[in-house]
């Protein structure tokens, strides 16, 4: 005859082996990443901030001046002009690729013969290096020998000075930026168009909606998140653009196309004023963060509106 004994929960808990604290085993994998972040990102920025608080010219000792370099910025007309050039260049370099990239995506989303080949041709500009693009467009912008003025002469338009005139230099540079990065926007929007279900289009076709109505009330709202992503990528890239502008104009004529990036380069590496150049770099970084925060704010508002409309 067997006897069944029951053990109380407290006794079972006491009988269970006690768990001992163990040192996390993943630290050997985390430490290299922390070292890279501290060495490549954190330390350079801390050192830049420290340099911005000093008057430091190459070959001379450093002198702590506090916020004097930052207080000098609002009274620097060349810096104010560079900020204006940067904003105009950024706005145009975002809006035009978004417009033409969306148009190209709608066209290439249709089914027609040779679509894949034409897509490959269309995205070739974004594969070239910026310096090579700058050199090629410099020859195309030449007032006497450039192909652009030759094409204008075929339709009776007088030759233009393009990047050699202060009034047309920034629009000309934006033309290069649009030509190079419209394919990127097209690829992003094409991904959005491929993700749209076919049911709304079938319903619109049954209701007799026109092409513009379908695009306005179905396609555009559904691809808006993709347009926002493309716009943010283009904004961050355009506001810090350097290579294209430097290769074509070097900020000229005069300072008509000098953006913050080029002015920072001139101050730090042409005038060797490291302290003031570091202050410009810090303010430039804050400007990029502010622009990104504004776009994220509007993105959150758009998500809130979409959620509210669904409710």
Q: What digits encode the pLDDT tens for the residues 170-185?
A: 999 999 999 999 999 9
pLDDT value, residue 186: 95
Q: Give dist(CA 82, CA 257) in Å, integer.
A: 8
CA–CA distances in Å: residue 15 to residues 5, 6, 20, 114, 296: 15, 14, 15, 75, 55
pLDDT value, residue 308: 47
CA–CA distances in Å: residue 177 to residues 15, 42, 125, 149, 239: 72, 31, 10, 19, 12
* CB contact at 8 A, 126 and 184: yes
* CB contact at 8 A, 62 and 56: yes
pLDDT value, residue 2: 46
Q: What angle do CA 274, 45, 68 make, to 5 degrees?
A: 45
Least Cα distance to 189 among 218, 217, 224 occurs for 224
pLDDT value, residue 304: 53
Q: Which residues pair with 57 in a beta bridge?
A: 273
Least Cα distance to 166 among 86, 80, 253 occurs for 253
Please enumerate in sequence order all residues whose Cβ is within 8 A of that of 242, keeping only pairs 6 or more positions apart, or say none: 259, 261, 262, 265
Structure tokens at 205: 């076709």
pLDDT in tens, 189-201: 999 999 888 888 8
Question: Computed from CA positions of residues 288, 291, 296, 299, in that sequence, does the dihedral angle turn out positive or negative?
Answer: negative
Least Cα distance to 218 among 194, 193, 200 occurs for 200
Least Cα distance to 170 among 93, 98, 232, 260 occurs for 93
| Average pLDDT taken over every residue of the chain | 86
pLDDT value, residue 311: 44
Q: Are strands 63-64 and 54-55 parallel, antiparallel or unpaired?
A: antiparallel
Question: Computed from CA positions of residues 85, 87, 93, 95, in that sequence, does the dihedral angle turn out positive or negative?
Answer: negative
pLDDT under 50: residue ranges of the chain: 1-3, 15, 307-311
């Amino acid at each position: 005859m067997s006897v069944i004994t029951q053990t109380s929960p407290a006794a079972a808990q006491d009988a269970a082996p006690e768990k001992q604290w163990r040192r996390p085993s993943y630290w050997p994998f985390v430490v290299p990443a922390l070292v890279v972040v501290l060495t490549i990102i954190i330390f350079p920025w801390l050192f830049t901030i420290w340099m911005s608080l000093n008057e430091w010219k190459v070959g001379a000792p450093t002198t702590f001046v506090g916020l004097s370099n930052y207080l000098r910025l609002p009274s620097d007309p060349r810096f104010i002009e560079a900020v204006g050039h940067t904003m105009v260049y950024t706005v145009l370099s975002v809006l035009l690729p978004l417009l033409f990239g969306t148009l190209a995506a709608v066209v290439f989303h249709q089914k027609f013969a040779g679509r894949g080949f034409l897509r490959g041709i269309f995205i070739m500009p974004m594969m070239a290096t910026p310096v090579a693009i700058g050199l090629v467009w410099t020859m195309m912008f030449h007032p006497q020998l450039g192909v652009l003025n030759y094409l204008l002469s075929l339709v009776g338009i007088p030759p233009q000075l393009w990047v050699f005139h202060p009034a047309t230099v920034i629009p000309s540079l934006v033309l290069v930026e649009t030509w190079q990065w419209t394919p990127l926007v097209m690829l992003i929007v094409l991904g959005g168009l491929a993700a749209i279900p076919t049911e709304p289009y079938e319903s619109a076709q049954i209701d007799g909606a026109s092409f513009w109505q379908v695009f306005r009330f179905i396609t555009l709202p559904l691809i808006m998140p993709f347009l926002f992503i493309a716009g943010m990528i283009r904004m961050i890239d355009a506001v810090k653009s350097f290579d294209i502008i430097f290769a074509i104009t070097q900020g000229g004529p005069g300072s008509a196309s000098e953006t913050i990036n080029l002015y920072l380069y001139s101050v730090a590496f042409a005038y060797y004023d490291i302290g003031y150049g570091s202050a410009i770099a810090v303010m430039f970084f804050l400007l990029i963060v502010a622009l990104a925060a504004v776009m994220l704010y509007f993105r959150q508002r758009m998500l809130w509106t979409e959620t509210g409309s669904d409710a």
